[in-house]
Structure 1
Amino acid sequence: MTKKRTKLFSNPAIDEAAAGSARMWSARLVMIMLTLPLAYIGAGAGVALTWGGAILSAETLSFIATRPFRTDRTRSDFQRGLYLFSSLYTILAWLLLGVLYWMTGEPALMITALAVLAGQLIYVQGFMHGSPITLTIGGIPATAALIGAPLLIHPFEPRYQLVLVGSLILMSAFAWRAARLNFSTRAALRSATDQLEDEKQSVEAASEAKSAFLATMSHEIRTPLNGMLGMAHALESDDLSEEQKERVRTIIDSGYLLTAVLNDVLDLSKIEAGKLEIAPIDDDFHQTLHRVVRLFEPQASDKGVTLSLTIDPTLPQWLRFDPVRVRQCLSNLLSNAVKFTAAGRIEVSARAEDAPDGKRILISVSDTGIGMSPKAVDGLFTPFTQADASITRRFAGTGLGLSIVRQLARLMGGEISAESVEGEGSVFTLDFQVQEAEQKGPPETGGERMAQDDARNLLLERRILVADDNAVNRQVTRIFLAPLGCEIIEATDGAEAISALGEQKFDIVLMDIHMPGMDGIEAIRQIRKSPENWSCVPVVALTADAMEEDRARYLEAGMDGAAVKPLDQRQLFTAMATAVETRRRLSARAA
């Protein structure tokens, strides 16, 4: 019996009805204050006082009973039971007024009585139909009073009495039918909502599982890739024949191509999960375009393809935009253009149009490459899709780039379109929203923009602690740092790193994140909490975790920078120099 009562009281519709009653309490109180003088005028002080005492005590109890339902906290069966009792009490109090009016025998008050009694049935039908128990508690007394009053006291002729009672019965039946329909509709809607919520949770769980899998896959691939590329870079600096250098360069290019594929997959995953955000800053837009185009000039030149950039004179140099994502979009477009253009030219043009909330940038990349059919263009922006299988075989690639460009363009408030003629070439047009820059000029030089020569000079002959459980990774780091003449001490986990810091003085710590024993996160937390002087040592995370949220987590834990594997020398030097400068500024502020 107890289990049935608990299940009955746990109906969410009871909570919804109670919350609705709480919201209506003030309106009901106003209604009472307006009705009391009317009752006094029409039926006298006795009726007004009798009903006033009943309804005010009922609404006081209702206020107390519905208070727990004004918040999202968990409610007990007792609280639900108290609400149901207060609802019954309130309904009966209003019905009392109708019965008292009917008993006066005055035609006008008897009509008013029917209005009051019917009004309660309408209130129940509209606000208490969510569950069988609320509908029963409110509906049965209201129906009984509406039909019962004319049956018990009938001052009309039999035929008029028949018409009145019959009409009230029909109206009540219709009201119950409507309430039943509302109940069924509400139950179906709640069931559909619950199903959608379950499906949403399943989709979110699948998305989280996919993201976790991709992050793990990326980490596991980047770690050996770091060793492969590091050793390839070391070989490249050896005394090799031209043929051997070409082979090493092929290894390096292939490694970076695999890295680019990993980055594309992770970016697409973040976009689909809604976790990739645009981060606009004030920056030199012209310089951003020139830098990207310069990166592809050697590849185009090797194929005998002319690559040019034209910037409309009316396009402002300084704008507020996300330079990382703009570079990513343009790089993908140029990569495709160079890949699919065997001869001729590639032209990049940029212009701006006025927009209601800033400016709209349009960047076009046209080429004289192989072109595409209209059917191929239609599927061009679908992930993992290329124009046809033969293109995949001839030119390789995942087909991810253009899909990512479209998603990024939409995140930046724009779109990408393509026009192509098979055998003649293609034109891709990227447009997106930007704002006028607040700062029109180069920002102060900071760690992130530090020139490579400055970074190298800042790191010369430093004592560096490298904490990494992977011997190959430690060797790669040692090779990269060799030109700086640094003294390098190695540790295989966080505990060894902390022990070394307590015994020797270091200028910089390079800390891997995933290590057995004490990992990098726990190590940096203990370093920063230490009362010793070495608690302020610059620490750079060396990680195969490429997600932006991972980097943010490491910085929050106390790292001063992060370098993502596979490492390259420029990235490593910049991250280390940034960490040194960051700690220097923090120390200056503390002083």
Structure 2
Amino acid sequence: MTELLKPVVRAKILLVEDDEDDYIITRSHLDELTSLDSQLTWVTNSTDGLQKLTEGYFDVCLLDYQLGAETGLSLLQQAVAAGISTPIIMLTGQPDKQLDLQALEYGAADFLVKSELTEARFARAIRYALSRREFELERLNRMQLEADNRSKDRFLAHLSHELRTPLSSILGYTELLLESDTAEEARPELNIILNNGKHLLSLLNDILDLSKITANKLELRPEPTSLRHILLDIYTLLKVTAVDNGLTLTVNSLTSLPVLITVDSTRLRQVLINLIYNAIKFTDSGGITVDLWVQKADGKEMLYFRVTDTGVGIPAGQLKDIFAPFMQVEDYLTRKKGGAGLGLAISAELIQRMGGSIDVVSEERKGSVFTFCVDPGDISDTQRCYFNPEQRLNDGHNRQDKITLSGEVLIVDDLADLRKLAGYWVKAAGASVDFAENGSQAIEKVKRKLDSGSSYSLILMDLHMPDIDGREATSMIRSLGYQYPIVALTAAMAKDIRQQLAGLGFNDVLSKPITKHHLYRTLRSYLTGPTVLQSDVQPAEKKLHFLVVEDDAEAAQLMQILLESLGVTATLAQSAEECMQLLALHHHFDRILLDMGLPDCNGLQLVERIEHSYPENVVIIVSGHDYEPAVSSSAIVQQSIVKPLSKQTLNQIVSTCR
């Protein structure tokens, strides 16, 4: 006899059957299936059958249709209603098509006639039921895993909010004390508090990044980027840390480097800072050297980085594990230095997603060498030069400007500490401040202002508050007719949150913990008032510089001529990519005149790209028709103008910049 079940399958089977002769026949059929190692449990009524199905774990249930005065259909219905996933095979004494269809409709896995039951038919039914059981278990496990992931995401979002909120106070008030003269004697201790607070924030960011990587939700946003800007930022940031630890930090370009590369600049910075900071942390004497070069790999030019230190090194047996999450070098030096063991794992994942790879060579007590590469995009026609870290950028961003702004800001937050901190910074910028403890109070204060014929110039609105939260409060404030900017404050920066909040009436989002730099950037964007440069000698008025993004060459040249006649330098870009390349080089223009009909990118998408990478710029929409309503939610769009442009229109734009 051909074996019908291969290999041997073990199964717990429940038989609900009130006839002992049929039980013996069924038992005999099961015994003949030598490839089935079955453990049979027999009950004689539907009540016991349902109890067994509820209490025990069975792979298959064989259910007789006629159970005394009852039918097996009632048990089948009760089992399905109770969520029991065990596949049920209905057994009956006579063939009945109507009953067959009814049983299958109620959820039976199969329908077998006892008088027609053969070994082959029985084997197929059992095999199908077991397969169905396995499929159902996989489905339930998948659903449970998805539910667990959703719970984890909710937990991490809650954890992020709960940790970032106190960190806002810790970092903010520590910076305030360091800037004041009241705690001069405690300055070393305050610096320790500030550095450790920043370290806690970096660990929190690492945990959130790792959760995104695990859930495959980490997205990169490659844009044309100035490599020199990245290197100078990192060199300036970490050189101080190296010197404070008695170390040297050297950056060399072994070949000429592309001026522009196409990468996610935020993530490349993250990788470099992590590797260089680790090198500083685990080096007691000597220094850290960062070498860069361009080299072809598999016919493609790749950008290489090598971070060399003279530190403690890594044991050979642990090199293979250092890029695994939560792994640390287990020696007293590492334990003394601390860390969650996430940075290298995240860096390795980011490098892989940037089209590259990472490798390490190390020797104990002599140091380590981390080498990685990333895909810089098409750099075949890109201008190249050697990097000099001592050559400073001269783009106007390194000036220490003291801003003096006008207007009144309403700060809405249920935490008094954070209201007070944000209020202090707003007052220091020259604006006046009012406070609301919750959404209800904010709505009432805005209503009173509007009724009196005045208004707040800006509202900083926390999203997570008791009573009425920030989202609902903003919707209600907008319904009152409030038309000035509202900026959301949140510790949970979820994907697409800007688009979601824009639909509710928000103009921008600030992530907690709020830094003075980010808050001042927001105040500059939304509050009117002069920016006063504090210096002994007032410089001559800076010549305005506009970026004109227009694919029509004649229209672009006309705008350039008109702007230059108004004393404005105009740089032209004919596509979205050229626009992003120029922004990567200059970072800031006084205004960007942006045509909506570009050949390589929708105008709305380009606005989003500019806002994400260079939010300090102000965009003027240039369109062939009336204002694009979808752009109104973008914080960087100042106004929209309709073609053709006149000199008078351009003069009005220029006058707002001076």
Which band: TM-score by shorter chain? 0.5 to 0.7
What secondary structure is seen at the aligned counterpart in 2 of 1:557?
coil
2:303 is aligned with 1:361: yes
Among candidates 549, 564, 569, match of residue 516 of structure 2: 569
Distance in 1 of aligned mates of 2:251 and 2:101:
71
How far 1:7 moved relative to its partner?
A: 9.3
* Equivalent position of 2:321 in the other structure: 379
* Equivalent position of 1:68 in the other structure: none
* Equivalent position of 1:542 in the other structure: 489
* Higher Rg of the two aligned structures: 1
Distance in 2 of aligned mates of 1:334 and 1:491:
43
What secondary structure is seen at the aligned counterpart in 2 of 1:293?
helix
* Equivalent position of 2:458 in the other structure: 508
2:317 is aligned with 1:265: no
Aligned partner letter, 1:585: V
How far 1:196 moved relative to its partner?
A: 2.3
* Equivalent position of 2:268 in the other structure: 326
- Segment drifting more, 185-194 vs 389-398: 185-194
Distance in 1 of aligned mates of 2:413 and 2:488:
10
2:504 is aligned with 1:557: yes
2:229 is aligned with 1:284: no
Distance in 2 of aligned mates of 1:510 and 1:355:
50
Among candidates 485, 493, 507, match of residue 438 of structure 2: 493
Distance in 2 of aligned mates of 1:455 and 1:462:
19
Higher helix share: 1
**8 Å CA contact 1:493, 1:515 repeated in 2:** yes
Paired positions, count: 437
Among candidates 520, 535, 554, match of residue 470 of structure 2: 520
How far 1:181 moved relative to its partner?
A: 5.8
Distance in 1 of aligned mates of 2:182 and 2:203:
29
* Equivalent position of 2:5 in the other structure: none
Distance in 2 of aligned mates of 1:195 and 1:5:
19
What secondary structure is seen at the aligned counterpart in 1 of 2:420?
helix
For residues 514-572 of structure 1, give each alpha carbon's deviation from its aligned partner in whole angstroms, at most 9, with x where no partner exists.
11221111122233444x2x2x3111112222444555543443322222222210011
Higher strand share: 2
Distance in 1 of aligned mates of 2:267 and 2:277:
15
Distance in 1 of aligned mates of 2:455 and 2:413:
19
Change (3 A) 1:583 1:260: closer
Q: TM-score, normalised by structure 1?
A: 0.65
* Equivalent position of 1:58 in the other structure: none
How far 1:247 moved relative to its partner?
A: 1.7
Aligned partner letter, 2:443: I
**8 Å CA contact 1:374, 1:420 repeated in 2:** yes
Distance in 1 of aligned mates of 2:436 and 2:347:
42
How far 1:473 moved relative to its partner?
A: 0.7
How far 1:583 moved relative to its partner?
A: 4.8
* Equivalent position of 1:103 in the other structure: none
Distance in 2 of aligned mates of 1:394 and 1:584:
46
What secondary structure is seen at the aligned counterpart in 1 of 2:276?
helix
**8 Å CA contact 1:450, 1:574 repeated in 2:** no
How far 1:309 moved relative to its partner?
A: 1.6
Distance in 2 of aligned mates of 1:552 and 1:454:
33
What secondary structure is seen at the aligned counterpart in 2 of 1:366?
strand
Among candidates 243, 253, 257, match of residue 301 of structure 1: 243
**8 Å CA contact 1:467, 1:491 repeated in 2:** yes
Distance in 2 of aligned mates of 1:336 and 1:433:
23
Change (3 A) 1:281 1:397: same
What secondary structure is seen at the aligned counterpart in 1 of 2:258?
coil
Which structure has more relative contact order (CA 8 Å, sep 6+)? It is 1
Distance in 2 of aligned mates of 1:440 and 1:499:
57
How far 1:509 moved relative to its partner?
A: 1.0
* Equivalent position of 2:387 in the other structure: none
Distance in 2 of aligned mates of 1:555 and 1:454:
32
Aligned partner letter, 2:489: L
- Segment drifting more, 506-515 vs 306-315: 306-315
Aligned partner letter, 1:554: L
What secondary structure is seen at the aligned counterpart in 1 of 2:422?
helix
What secondary structure is seen at the aligned counterpart in 2 of 1:342?
coil
* Equivalent position of 1:29 in the other structure: none
Aligned partner letter, 1:558: G
* Equivalent position of 2:337 in the other structure: 395
* Equivalent position of 1:30 in the other structure: none
* Equivalent position of 2:606 in the other structure: none
Change (3 A) 1:450 1:583: farther
* Equivalent position of 1:313 in the other structure: 255
Among candidates 177, 198, 201, match of residue 235 of structure 1: 177
2:193 is aligned with 1:193: no
Aligned partner letter, 2:206: D
Distance in 2 of aligned mates of 1:553 and 1:389:
47
- What percentage of aligned pairs have identical amino acids? 29
**8 Å CA contact 1:524, 1:557 repeated in 2:** yes
* Equivalent position of 1:275 in the other structure: 217
How far 1:496 moved relative to its partner?
A: 2.3
For residues 357-384 of structure 1, give each alpha carbon's deviation from its aligned partner in whole angstroms, at most 9, with x where no partner exists.
9643332211111101112222212222
Distance in 2 of aligned mates of 1:244 and 1:306:
28
How far 1:460 moved relative to its partner?
A: 0.9
**8 Å CA contact 1:560, 1:578 repeated in 2:** no
**8 Å CA contact 2:326, 2:341 repeated in 1:** yes
2:386 is aligned with 1:436: no
**8 Å CA contact 2:326, 2:340 repeated in 1:** yes
Aligned partner letter, 1:557: L
**8 Å CA contact 2:224, 2:262 repeated in 1:** yes
For residues 247-285 of structure 1, give each alpha carbon's deviation from its aligned partner in whole angstroms, at most 9, with x where no partner exists.
222221111111111111111112112221111112113
2:165 is aligned with 1:223: yes
How far 1:186 moved relative to its partner?
A: 4.4
For residues 117-138 of structure 1, give each alpha carbon's deviation from its aligned partner in whole angstroms, at most 9, with x where no partner exists.
xxxxxxxxxxxxx9644x98xx
Change (3 A) 1:360 1:233: same
Distance in 2 of aligned mates of 1:278 and 1:416:
18
Distance in 1 of aligned mates of 2:145 and 2:289:
42
Change (3 A) 1:328 1:183: farther
**8 Å CA contact 2:104, 2:110 repeated in 1:** no
How far 1:396 moved relative to its partner?
A: 1.8
Change (3 A) 1:356 1:82: farther
How far 1:343 moved relative to its partner?
A: 1.5
Aligned partner letter, 2:490: T
How far 1:399 moved relative to its partner?
A: 1.4
* Equivalent position of 1:149 in the other structure: none
Distance in 1 of aligned mates of 2:80 and 2:327:
54
**8 Å CA contact 2:293, 2:305 repeated in 1:** yes
Aligned partner letter, 1:496: Q
2:359 is aligned with 1:417: yes
How far 1:586 moved relative to its partner?
A: 5.0
How far 1:228 moved relative to its partner?
A: 2.2
* Equivalent position of 2:405 in the other structure: 460
Q: TM-score, normalised by structure 2?
A: 0.59
* Equivalent position of 1:252 in the other structure: 194
Change (3 A) 1:80 1:376: same
Change (3 A) 1:311 1:569: same
How far 1:208 moved relative to its partner?
A: 2.6
Cα RMSD over matched residues? Answer: 3.9
**8 Å CA contact 2:508, 2:635 repeated in 1:** no
How far 1:203 moved relative to its partner?
A: 2.5
Q: 1:172-191 alignment to 2 at 5 Å?
A: 177=120, 184-191=126-133
**8 Å CA contact 1:345, 1:367 repeated in 2:** yes
Aligned partner letter, 1:403: A
Distance in 2 of aligned mates of 1:222 and 1:261:
11
**8 Å CA contact 2:257, 2:294 repeated in 1:** yes
Distance in 2 of aligned mates of 1:439 and 1:548:
35
